[in-house]
């Protein structure tokens, strides 16, 4: 008799059963992996939909590169802690003894993000100058309407303040860290963004306006384009005037901020101050912002204001500094 081996050979049926078990496990693993992929896809889709919903709730346009730009209303201005007082230079005209009314230019800054308030200012029976922020949501519609109504238009040029980056001047800002090429490229983009502009004034810029080298670069471009510059005077250290004198650029400075405190009595007081400065110097420039309270007070005071001063476009007050 032959001896039986200690190890029994597996029957074919056992091999088949093992193979089926392995296939079953692989199938379960594959199914689990598919479920995970599907769940990840669903979650990613929900995230993208939520992000798209949030972004679409804010006004936006496509940039030239095709990227979506979200428009947020920037801070209107950073006002000097103390009002800047300076002696009027001799290039200001001497008061005359004639009965001719002194000239006043009122610039409404930071236009472009609120179409309704812009339309309110455009509805006033007054000579005002609108200064539009570049790359703002309604800049083109407002510029066309203002031009049709005969209002003068300026570019409100975002410039770096000392408070940057905690306070951002908005799209198109010029930074002191930019190279000359970067600065000029961005400046030209801003100038070309808005039609019908006659001149420029700075939006913020307490740091940039103290950099004579960069102000020379900016003013050289403005001179080539036959534009004037009005210094919003956000710092007493501004070097805009000597830079404009060097480059023989038509120039003026802001005399009064009208509405940095949004209270009716304060705004009335600032308008009266503007009239007094105009009486003394023959002309004055006031800067206001697109607040409904400013519109209401200006509408209220217009009849009295127009008896005391001649409202003119900003371009009528600029001249090359001596």
Q: Is the pLDDT of residue 109 over 50?
A: yes
The Cα 272–Cα 279 span in angstroms is 11
Question: Which domains occur in the chain, in start order?
Answer: 103-316 (3.20.20.370)
Comparing C-alpha atoms, which of 139, 86, 144 is closest to residue 112?
139
pLDDT of residue 11: 52
Q: Is the pLDDT of residue 237 over 50?
A: yes
pLDDT of residue 31: 74
Distance set, CA 131 to CA 110, 162, 171 (Å): 6, 22, 15
Q: Is the pLDDT of residue 96 over 70?
A: no
**pTM score, two decimals?**
0.75
Other beta carbons within 10 Å of 115: 15
Percent of the chain with pLDDT over 70: 73
Averaged over 294-300, what is the pLDDT? 98
**CB-based burial of residue 118 (10 Å sphere; 0-12 exposed, 13-18 middle, 19+ buried)?**
buried
Mean pLDDT for all residues in the chain: 85
pLDDT of residue 77: 73
**Beta-strand pair 60-62/251-253:** unpaired
What is the token pair recorded at 148?
Answer: 């049709």
What is the token pair recorded at 175?
Answer: 């930074």
Residue 260's φ and ψ, nearest 5 degrees, are -70, -15
């Amino acid at each position: 008799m032959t001896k039986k081996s200690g190890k029994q050979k597996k029957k074919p049926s056992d091999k088949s059963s093992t193979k089926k078990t392995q296939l079953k496990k692989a199938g379960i693993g594959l199914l689990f992996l598919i479920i995970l992929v599907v769940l990840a896809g669903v979650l990613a889709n929900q995230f993208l939909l939520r992000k798209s919903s949030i972004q679409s709730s804010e006004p936006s346009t496509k940039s030239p590169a095709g990227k979506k730009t979200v428009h947020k209303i920037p801070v209107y201005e950073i006002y000097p802690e103390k009002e800047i007082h300076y002696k009027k230079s001799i290039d200001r005209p001497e008061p005359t003894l004639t009965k001719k009314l002194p000239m006043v230019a009122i610039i409404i800054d930071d236009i472009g993000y609120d179409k309704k308030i812009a339309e309110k200012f455009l509805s006033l029976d007054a000579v005002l100058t609108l200064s539009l922020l570049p790359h703002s949501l309604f800049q083109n519609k407002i510029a066309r309407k203002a031009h049709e109504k005969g209002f003068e238009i300026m570019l409100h040029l975002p410039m770096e303040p000392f408070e940057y980056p905690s306070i951002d001047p908005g799209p198109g800002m010029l930074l002191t860290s930019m190279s000359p090429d970067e600065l000029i490229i961005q400046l030209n983009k801003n100038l070309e963004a808005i039609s019908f502009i006659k001149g420029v004034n700075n939006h913020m810029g307490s740091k940039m306006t103290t950099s004579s080298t960069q102000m020379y670069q900016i003013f050289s471009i403005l001179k080539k384009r036959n534009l004037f510059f009005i210094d919003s005077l956000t710092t007493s250290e501004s070097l805009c005037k000597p830079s404009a004198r060097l480059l023989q650029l038509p120039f003026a400075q802001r005399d009064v901020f009208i509405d940095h405190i949004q209270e009716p009595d304060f705004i009335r007081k600032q308008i009266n101050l503007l009239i007094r400065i105009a009486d003394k110097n023959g002309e004055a420039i006031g800067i206001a912002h697109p607040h409904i309270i400013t519109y209401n007070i200006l509408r209220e005071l217009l009849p009295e204001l127009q008896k005391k001063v001649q409202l003119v476009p900003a371009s009528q007050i600029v001249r090359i500094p001596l």
